[in-house]
Structure 1
């Protein structure tokens, strides 16, 4: 009974975190728009590509999902949430300085969740002394991406890009260090050979 309760809680938490993870490029795209942040062409141009790739991923996931209707609900929920928050912020905050602050805070919140999501597996890595479930290439890609944006932020004097990507570089570095510590102790997967007759 307790296992079912834990499974439900973890499942709900996973859905919430996935929802937050998908929101990151949406809010970052809005953050780069001229009516929010002037002179942010690099942020503006890269995030529509992220959203397009994310939609391809969601399309593939939708195709193979056992409950396709639930995927549609989550996607519609995401669109409604982003639209509602964006319109509210644009109405409440009339000038660029306040819009940058409002969108920057919400962007940082969701971006930090995105970068930190692989950290959830760290306890399992430490207790099992195995990196079998640690996504090395995801951690490496996040580290390189976050480090690049962290280097870019001081040039543009953008504190919000600096905060979330600096923390992202740090969390990704921790993941890579952990991977290095437990890589050799991970048991090799044995391929199932032909059975003897």
Structure 2
């Protein structure tokens, strides 16, 4: 109630500013989804951050309705639900079959199963302030996961040395939003709003630091690895071929000698046969039959 009351102008100012910045944060992935629309493919982008963000927005709306008087939380998270739903629908349209199946599973488990379980547990087992406390800590836990979710791409960034799939604008928006909502939580004395944004700011700084570290690095993709291996592979083949040529010379010489000897033997045999035939011919001429004239 303090957030919307003009008797707390600073809380009202930070609540309004938090709505504006958080709305910009929700819009930060637009370049990503414009690229997905143009290429007709989700490429290496993940659906997890958007599914988790939708779940967190749903939780905060539930928390604001239970606590009452938290109009700023309701307005921004209602807008978040709409925007994140649009992102997820676009992801479903252009994702691969495997990506669609994975997204459907985590949505059914998180936005359906877990959220439904939270509703039942908090409404049936807790009442009054205990319900607010219980739901507040649940919101803190899952709000942290919203800030952590974009870090799911960190492995890909390190492996490829490329920040192509980790937009800097999103990390910056998350950091600014975390600062504003932390101050808003302090002013309205709501620790459940303030606490997760401490970690939110920390994770935002980590993402921006990772971006700055890899932004000028040479990307290493699958093609780059193969291209890098080609020279080494060529040299290896040359070395192997050269190694095979050296012992081949003696083998050729050893194979030539028997052939030469056989040739010489055949020639000698043929010469002997010719000589023998010549001798027989001479003998026939010399000692041929006597012709008598009668």
Deviation at residue 125 of structure 1 after TM alignment:
4.2
Aligned-residue Cα RMSD (Å) equals 3.0
Provide the residue aligned with 1:181 in structure 2. Answer: 213
How far off its partner does 1:115 sit? Answer: 0.4
Corresponding residue for residue 147 of structure 1: 179
Deviation for aligned residue 1:42: 0.7
Structure 1 runs (4+) deviating above 6 angstroms are 14-18
Asked if the contact 2:50/2:87 (under 8 Å) is kept, the reply is no
* TM-score normalised to structure 1 length: 0.73
The answer as to whether partners of 1:27 and 1:82 remain within 8 angstroms in 2 is: yes
Q: Distance in 1 between matches of 2:150 and 2:209?
A: 13
Find the counterpart in structure 2 of residue 40 from structure 1. 70
- Kindly tell me the number of residue pairs found equivalent between the two proteins: 173
What residue is the counterpart of 2:124 in the other structure? 91
1:90–1:117 Cα change, 3 Å: same
The corresponding residue for 2:287 is none
Matched, 1:165 2:197: yes
Q: Distance in 2 between matches of 1:74 and 1:130?
A: 27
1:100 aligned onto 2:100: no
Q: Could you say which residue in structure 1 is the equivalent of 2:260?
A: none
Q: Say whether the 8 Å CA contact 1:142–1:172 is kept in structure 2.
A: yes
The 1:174–1:76 alpha-carbon spacing in structure 2 relative to 1, beyond 3 Å, is closer
TM-score w.r.t. length of structure 2 = 0.51
The residue number in structure 1 matching 2:63 is: 31
Pick closer, same or farther for the CA change 1:152–1:23 going to 2, 3 Å: same
Kept in 1: contact 2:53–2:146 (CA 8 A): yes
Aligned to 1:8: none
Stretches of structure 2 that go unaligned for 5 or more consecutive residues are 1-45, 222-294
1:116 aligns with 2:148: yes
Q: Deviations over 1:43-78 (max 9, x none)?
A: 112111111112222222233345467755654442
Q: Give the superposition deviation at 1:92.
A: 1.0
Is 1:79 aligned to 2:79, yes or no?
no
Contact 1:21 1:110 in 2 (8 A): no
Deviation of 1:131 after TM superposition, in Å, equals 2.9
